[in-house]
Structure 1
Amino acid sequence: DYKTALSYMEQSLDICREIGDWGEEDATLNNISQIYHARGEYDKALSYLEQSLDLQQKIGNRYGEGVTLNNIGRVYQARGDNAKALQYYEQSLDLRREIGDRAGEGVTLDNIGKINLDQGGYDKALSYLEQSLDINQEIGNRAGEGVTLNNISLIYHDRGNYTTALKYLEQSLNICKEIGDRRQEAVTSWNIGIIYKKQGDLVKAEQYMSRAVEIMEDIGHPETDVCREELAELRAEIKGQ
């Protein structure tokens, strides 16, 4: 319940400011921004992130500054302003490299890769995503590795190289199952199903897409209804063959 969570966080923010607890104030500003981001209220999300960034620069929290610059980039990307998103991601990447935040570096490289992918810059996207994958494997970030493998598969998918795309997706799916990341398992299963559908293997496509919808229903994924409709159309197509 976003409304209740926001109410508690706003109270917490007031207390932090009253007692001068800058560290907790910073964390709360970031948490509030995440709620507004999830609700699609991007201006409000940015307002809290900018307050957080000012505070981090004031107290010299370099690690937090890298996180917040990345999160500001995410908001601009969600708004479709890729140029502005890239500016913030690049600042975040420079800072994270400077302080040796390898996990953060992997996240930001992945985000930059996704923007290049959206813009059709496949070679550039692949370069960033492969750097992200190397870091995630090096530091043992299995969740990050699974996400990046999925993103790399999208490049091969868009290029029509379905065999290679499937190879990356299957690796991603194995990791999702291993670490219990059900949301990513649903996304990856769906993406595998889409490829089988494009290859004309509708039965195999139905198996993966059905599994994806099952998980989505279970976890309350926002795309459940859309995917359920697409799955129903696929089943009707199979029945009509």
Structure 2
Amino acid sequence: MKQRHFLPGKTINIANLQLCTFYILLFTCLFNTASVKANDITQQIHRPLNNTANKPSRDGADRLLKLGRQQLSLGFPDKALKSSLQALEIYQSLGDLKAQGLTYDLLANTYLQLDDIKNAEDAIRRQLAIARDNRDFQNQIFALNNLSSLFLEKGENVAAEQTLQEALVIARNVTNIEGQGLSLSNLSLVALRRGDYNKAIKIGEYALTFRRQLGDAIGEANTLNNLGDAYLAIGDYQNTIGSYGSAMRLAKKSFERPNQLRAIDGLVTAHAAVGRYSRALELLENRVAITDSIRNPAEDLKYLAISGEIYERMGNFAKAKDLYQQAISIAQRLEDSKQQSFLVNRLNDLKGR
């Protein structure tokens, strides 16, 4: 899977930091993170024996699997699920176990983004079984990382850490650079979830050395976002901005929206926490430009709610009220009673201002 030193001369209002972080987190789905979810596995199919009779079907399945990965990275898990299941059906008809294992890997990540824990676990267990039967150490590493993501989703941090340690041992034994980077990055996420921020930073920085060896831009962006979260938690503003900023640039260059949005959310939180409201609002406008192409009203709701909170902190109560009212309308259409109630309370607090 793919979840803070103070700087000299920098004074950060911890109450404001916690307040802003609360609002951001309230409207941000954890693992979104990935954010992400923690899984950030990207792996090409190693085809077995050439078979001219099956070549068209195999090529079609390969294209579907590649398409599914692209759809997931662009934030379309529903479409990715359809492509993955079609690819899996073809690979099963061909008896191609290795390709099935890779497809289950994608399915696991997709189901996790769809919050379908039951099917995610089934896909992971099948992926791991195939990898062990074939003594495929690389896919064992990936499957164990997927399994740890599932444990994190359930809040089972100890089980997640133990599973990742197993994956890391295998990766080191077979000198798998990608597996080491992935497992270390996810161990950093576990430490972050447990509140051990200094450990999360130490492991995350070490993970970066492996991810950069392979030029894995998406993996590096995910690790940098983990580091940004950890630095933000301890109030290290300079490293927070540096980590999120690097993650945002890498994700943008790779056309990978989930990590790009996660980085922007972190930057908005950090800038708002130290009173840099203009920069926070500028980043939110950039976020709108990205999410408009997805046409996701939930993203519009997030934008309006966070913008309203920033304008409220700036003392521009009229603007804040307008944004909160727009957000309430969207929450009603989405039948999101929890966020609607929260926004109504925020609006009521501004009465008379």
Contact 1:9 1:32 in 2 (8 A): no
Which of 100, 106, 127 aligns to 1:52? It is 127
Q: Offset at 1:10?
A: 5.9
Q: Offset at 1:111?
A: 0.7
- When normalised by structure 1's length, the TM-score is 0.85
Partner of 1:229: 305
Which of 190, 193, 197 aligns to 1:122? It is 197
Q: Offset at 1:29?
A: 3.2
CA gap of 1:5–1:129, structure 2 versus 1, over 3 A, is same
Which of 208, 229, 239 aligns to 1:164? It is 239
Which of 173, 176, 199 aligns to 2:251? It is 176
- Does structure 1 residue 107 correspond to structure 2 residue 182? yes
Which of 15, 28, 34 aligns to 2:93? It is 15
Higher helix share goes to which structure? 1
Partner of 1:240: 317
For residues 136 and 273 of structure 2, the distance between their equivalents in structure 1, rounded to whole angstroms, comes to 48
CA gap of 1:219–1:97, structure 2 versus 1, over 3 A, is farther
Partner of 2:104: 29
Which of 250, 272, 279 aligns to 1:204? It is 279
Q: Offset at 1:159?
A: 0.9
Q: Offset at 1:116?
A: 0.3
C-alpha root-mean-square deviation of aligned residues, in Å? 2.5
Q: Which amino acid aligns with 2:169?
A: D
Runs of 5+ in structure 1 lacking a partner?
none
Q: Offset at 1:56?
A: 1.6
SS at match of 2:293: helix
SS at match of 1:60: coil
Partner of 2:227: 152
Runs of 5+ in structure 2 lacking a partner?
1-77, 319-353
Q: Which has the higher contact order (CA 8 A, sep 6+)?
A: 2
- Does structure 1 residue 192 correspond to structure 2 residue 270? no
- Does structure 1 residue 89 correspond to structure 2 residue 167? no
CA gap of 1:229–1:139, structure 2 versus 1, over 3 A, is same
For residues 94 and 126 of structure 1, the distance between their equivalents in structure 2, rounded to whole angstroms, comes to 21
- When normalised by structure 2's length, the TM-score is 0.60
Contact 1:213 1:228 in 2 (8 A): no
Contact 1:66 1:96 in 2 (8 A): yes
Q: Offset at 1:237?
A: 4.7
Q: Offset at 1:158?
A: 0.8
SS at match of 1:120: coil
Q: Which amino acid aligns with 1:33?
A: A
Partner of 2:25: none
CA radius of gyration, larger in: 2
Q: Offset at 1:87?
A: 1.7
Q: Offset at 1:102?
A: 0.6
For residues 272 and 215 of structure 2, the distance between their equivalents in structure 1, rounded to whole angstroms, comes to 33
For residues 242 and 110 of structure 2, the distance between their equivalents in structure 1, rounded to whole angstroms, comes to 35
